């Protein structure tokens, strides 16, 4: 479960954030249906009251969303430190193990070893030890000291969506093409989906600070001209 001392993609209790988001979506749908009904039966006063209620709820929700964004802080985890992903429960942890570089046909390639681990200490005693968990899709971006961002060009090793059982881990090599002057690299691994932008406390919400994984420096291992 999420707690303030954990390095994760959230800075707000995830169950509360998810329930709040679902309640907001459900309330919006029901309010729209009710407003149409009031208009159909010619009750404009009730429609205005309902609109005022929806506006007040939206103000509270987005107020919390922006408050948690303002309260967030940027963090860069050292190689080997883990970033947890809290999707109700904080089961999965990601870390950077190592990196290497090579130059192929004049292109600088950086290979980053990303480790995915199912933390067995986060499960309930009632949960079967052999019950698998399939990770959600992730977005991965590499940033340098100049603020430039680069997407991956290749993945090798174990796919990031392979299921794990509690206590299991695997490694995926993520490859990036970088200019020669890129330095002080940081890897950003985030959740994939539009709903994260509207989830209170999620690092993808507007103005929210991110948790990065530092990439260790590496020497060029091979050179092919």
Per-residue pLDDT of the chain (225 residues; tens, 9 = 90+): 666 678 999 999 999 999 999 999 999 999 999 999 988 888 888 899 999 999 999 999 999 999 999 999 999 999 999 999 998 889 999 999 999 998 877 788 999 999 999 999 998 888 888 899 999 999 999 999 999 999 999 999 999 999 999 999 999 999 999 998 888 999 999 998 889 999 999 999 999 999 999 999 765 555 544
Query: What's the pLDDT score for residue 225?
Result: 45
> Which letter, b or e, does each residue of 11-25 get, where b requires 16 or more Cβ atoms within 10 Å of its Cβ?
bbbbeebbebbeebe
Torsion region of 193: left, alpha or beta (phi above 0 gives left; psi -120 to 50 gives alpha): left
């Amino acid at each position: 479960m999420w707690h303030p001392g954990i390095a994760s993609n959230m800075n707000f209790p995830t169950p509360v954030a998810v329930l709040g988001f679902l309640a907001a979506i459900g309330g919006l749908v029901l309010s729209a249906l009710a407003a149409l009904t009031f208009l159909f039966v010619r009750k404009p006063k009730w429609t205005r009251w309902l609109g005022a209620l929806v506006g007040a709820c939206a103000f509270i929700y987005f107020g919390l969303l922006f408050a948690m964004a303002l309260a967030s802080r940027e963090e860069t985890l050292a190689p080997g430190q883990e970033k947890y992903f809290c999707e109700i429960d904080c089961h999965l942890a990601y870390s950077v193990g190592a990196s290497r570089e090579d130059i192929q046909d004049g292109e600088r390639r950086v290979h980053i070893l990303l480790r995915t681990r199912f933390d067995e200490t986060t499960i309930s005693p009632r949960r079967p030890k052999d019950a698998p968990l399939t990770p959600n899709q992730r977005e991965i971006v590499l940033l340098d000291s100049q603020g430039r961002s680069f997407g991956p060009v290749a993945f090798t090793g174990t796919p990031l969506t392979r299921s794990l059982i509690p206590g299991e881990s695997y490694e995926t090599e993520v490859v990036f093409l970088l200019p020669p002057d890129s330095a002080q690299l940081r890897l950003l691994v985030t959740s994939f989906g539009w709903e994260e932008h509207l989830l209170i406390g999620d690092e993808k919400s507007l103005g929210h600070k991110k948790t990065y994984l530092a990439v260790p420096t590496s020497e060029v291992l091979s050179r092919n001209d």
